[in-house]
Structure formats: structure tokens, C-alpha cells
Structure 1
Amino acid sequence: MFLRRVASKVKPLPRCSYFSSDSNHDLSKVITELNQEMESVFGASPASGPDGSLDSQTMAQEPYLVKNDAKQKELFPGLTHIGTKGEAQMVDISSKEITKRVAIASCKVILGQKVFDLVSANQMEKGDVLSVAKIAGICGAKQTSNLIPLCHNINLSHIHLNLTLNPHDLSVEIEGQAASTGKTGVEMEALTAVTISGLTVYDMCKAASKDIVITDVRLEQKSGGKSGDWSRKK
């Protein structure tokens, strides 16, 4: 539709007057009208000069179109899951070195006095809350790539979870560690482990209270890989 309207505004110029002042005036008038039409359609004036044409205006309407990787890194610093056109992508790790990777994550489940007492006495109707939640966290870590779309399917060499009752704030403190020797980190596996474990605590206890809160899901430290070691305590 827009092209038809453009074509209707451009009238054929006489063969003998290509360089006449009248034809130049007519052409300038047509360009001015087209610029006004484009502004009404796209909501912005086109760039001035001969290069401020339809191609420039079209590119302005596509902020995610990136011509090369250098421009991509400039626009999206540190975002490795962004493709050259701004789309989501799985990171290519084929060129990375194989190193030992370890990650530790944690979370907390606030139970409240009633549920805390029941869990402490192992009197919940569904059974041993801490034991079931620990196994659930291990299983969850092994399913990370199925749960998180752009995670790689990696071979985990070790998963460990520790669940501790804290009487000071009536909570279950959960810490999980994941380890692997490979080309990509295990942060997501550790985070998934503690999250699934926390959700299992909720499921085991929800019959006694709906006021349970899962909070402070976070990475505590990681090691290995190109980025090296990192710790929240530093």
C-alpha cells in the first residue's frame, strides 16, 4: 500500500528536461511529500541529505538488527545469549577449554512457628521434609537443561545439598553445590538444585500453612572457566 502511494507521487519526467530547473523543483517537491508521508507512518523525520532515504529510515525502525559481532558486543555487553540480530541463542562453547567447574548456591524457606515445630519433630503428614527436599534438589539439578531453555546439557560429576533448620528465624537454610569437568559452568545447576529443594519443602508443608516464603535464592561462589573464581563474600 505504501509503495503504491509512493509510485503515485512520482511522475515521469520529460526526456529533454532531466536537468532543467523545473524538473529539479518537481523532484524536490515529491521528495518533500514523501518525507512527510514517512513521518506520518513511522513517527519520525528521515535523515537529511541524499542518504536520508528509505533505507536509512527502515534501518532506524529495526534497532535489533546488528551487522556484526563487534556491534553486538557494544550494544549488549556481557550478554552471551544474544545473537547478531538481538534474538535469543544457545552459546557455542566448542572453542572453550575443559576445566573443573564448581558452583555453590543457597536459598531460605521461612516456615513460621507452627510448621517449624512440625518439621523439627518430623511430624508432617507427607513425611520427612528435609530428606525428600534433598533428593528433589539433586534430581532438579540433573534436569536443569530441560527446565532452562538455553542451558547446555552437561555431565555433572557431583551434586550435594545441605538443609539446616534455623530456630532464630524459623527457617530451613538450603545450600547446594554442583561440580563438573567441562566447557561451561554449573551455576544454573546449583541454583536449580536449591530452588527445587525449596519448592519441595513448600509442597511438603503447604497443608499446614500457606504462609511459607521461599527467599534469597542466590549464587554464593563459583570457580573454573574463563571468568575465574568469584565469591559473594569478597
Structure 2
Amino acid sequence: MTNTFSFDSEAYDFWPLYQAIQKYYPIGIPKNYDEGIHREYQGYKALERLLVENIHDEKTWKSNWVSFTKKMGLELGKKAFGTTYGQAPSYSAYLLLDWKNNGNRSNSKELHFSVSLLGNYFQIYGVEKTQLSYDDGPIPYQVENVKEIIVSPIDDFKTYFEAVEEKIKEQFKGYRLVPFSIGQTMIKGLEVYHLDKENCTVNMAMFNDFVGYGDQIMEVELRGDQNYGMDGWKK
């Protein structure tokens, strides 16, 4: 489902999102860790500082994010699990909405959300997945299969999706939801530093690669309105 970044410019204005990406990534310049110039780009140096100040600084990270997600989980009656990692330019976590176990098979429903460090933007999506655990071999391992991605407030996810969206907007004033359809568009020549991929998506640049490329989720059912959140970008 991945397509090139574009939008109806007469009705919407997504240029601030593109400009935020362009500010931190040298679009169109191939990445080369040995002799490339990526790491000399001023935007990349600024991105590194943001990661250090907001994530690597444990006190700031806990104050800005951990306390927020913990409080959210308590208020909504669901356990929050942090997924922030040091090289992705966002805070992230998920609420475990449901979990059922049957032998070596478990089914879960999770509501994931991220807040970007590169601009006033956030994302929310739900995941239904199955996990199989094998402990009878020489090395125990697990196999995870994402069955559905929920991209707007529907069905069992509706109440929590809307609640998380509201709480993020209350905590992070002026932040806007990036519609799934826009987040999964690709920008040609965009390479994200911590990923070994070419032509990355908006979501990869602003948040993380948890959703992946369009071709990686072709076998996954997408439920909901992929354009949910577009109203926040109207001219």
C-alpha cells in the first residue's frame, strides 16, 4: 500500500510535516556510513541532540513520557508498556486492551501510540496479533503474527482510541494526529539513520518503523478509515 508522499493541496496542508522531515534528514543524498556526508548535515546533528536530551536523559524521559503513560493506563484501566528506543525520534508505548492464552498460543489487542520529537505530531493505531511460544526445543523461541491493524476509532478499539487521542492532545498542546494514509507514504530519497532502508515512509522518519513498509503489511488486514485525522490538516 506504500505510495509516494502527496496530498490534495487545495484542501489540505501537509507541507509542515514534509518540512519537519526535510529539516532533520538530507533527502536525496544516499547514506554511506564510511565516507558519506549524512552525519555532517546540521539537521542530523540537531536530531542527535534531541535524542540525547529527551530519551537518553532518563530523568527527562521519565518526566515527559513514563509518568504520562503510567497515569493514562491507570485512568483507562489498562496496563501501559513502553516501546521508546534510543534511536527512533519519538516517545512510544501501547496499552494492552485484551490478552487471552491457550496453551502455547496467545491472542492480544494492543493500542499503540507515538509522539514525535521532530515536530508537533503523533500517531495512534491498534494491533490484533497472535503469538506462538515454543519451549520444547534446545532454544525457546516465539513467533508473532500481526493479523489486523486498526487505523481509526472502531469496534473494541473505539473508546480507547478516542481516549488516548484526547489525552495526548491535552498533554502535548498543539500536536496533530498524522493520518495513517499519509504516514505510510514514501518519500523518495529519504533515508533514516537507524534503519537500513531506502525511500523511507513519513512514519519511519517522524516516529519509528513499527508499522513497516506497505509491502510488509500487505497480508495484514487494515480496519477503519485510513484517512482518519485529515480534518486536522484542512486549510
Query: What's the TM-score, normalizing by structure 1?
Result: 0.27
Q: Which has the larger radius of gyration?
A: 1
- Structure having the higher helix fraction is 1
Query: What's the TM-score, normalizing by structure 2?
Result: 0.27
